[in-house]
Structure 1
Amino acid sequence: MRITGLVICALLALLDLVGSLPMGDVRPPLGVLVAGLVLGLITLAALVPAWRGNRRALLVVVVSRALSALLGIGAFFDDAAPGAALVGVVVALVLTAVAVVLLVPALRGARAEPAR
């Protein structure tokens, strides 16, 4: 389940990077684009250690994806946001929720016993 969650997070991070490219007339505010780009890069940087089992890196992946998903909520309050953008935000929110649910058990994994 952890691998599936990490793959979903990797795809969402790549979408953050692609979403920061100029593609049309209607674009999110610059701050949202920059924050999405930074969060996407943070996720991608933490993916390799998280894949190898590093729980701190896994926490970074989960938090960066959750923050990225929250950035999209503003589209629901923008009258200029196209319907396709709203659908994309909903899909990203659902995928983020699924990924987090898949990754939480790995975060709760057995803790190492202290050395004696």
Structure 2
Amino acid sequence: MRVTGLVICALLALLDLVGSLPMGDVQPPVGVIVVGLVLGLITLAALVPAWRGNRRALQVVVGSRVLSALLGIGAYFDDAAPTWARIGVTVAMLLTAIAVVLVLPALRPSPQLAE
């Protein structure tokens, strides 16, 4: 389950990077683009150690994905945001929630063996 969640996180991070490229007439604010780009890079940087089971890296991946999902909320309140952007934000939020649920069991502390 952890691997599937990390794959979803990787795809979402790549979407953050692609989303920072200029596309069409309607663009999100520059701050949103920059923060999304940084969060995508953070996720990608933490993926390799997270894949190997590093709990701190898993926390970074989950945190950066949650922050990225929250960054999209502004699309719902922006009248200039096209419908496809709102749909994309909704899908990304749902995928983020699924990925977090899949990764969370790996973040729980393992029971210590009693001697």
Question: How many corresponding residue pairs?
Answer: 113
- Residue 82 of structure 2 corresponds to 82
Q: Distance in 1 between matches of 2:59 and 2:36?
A: 18
Q: Distance in 1 between matches of 2:58 and 2:111?
A: 14
Which letter does structure 1 place at the counterpart of 2:12? L
TM superposition shift of 1:109: 3.9
Q: Distance in 1 between matches of 2:71 and 2:31?
A: 10
- Residue 96 of structure 1 corresponds to 96
Q: Percent identity?
A: 79
Query: Is there any run of 5+ residues in structure 1 with no aligned partner, and where?
Result: none
TM-score, length basis structure 2? 0.96
**Divergent runs of 4+, >3 A:** none
Which letter does structure 1 place at the counterpart of 2:89? V
Aligned ranges for residues 25-104 of structure 1 at < 5 Å? 25-104=25-104
TM-score, length basis structure 1? 0.95
Residue aligned with 2:26, SS: coil
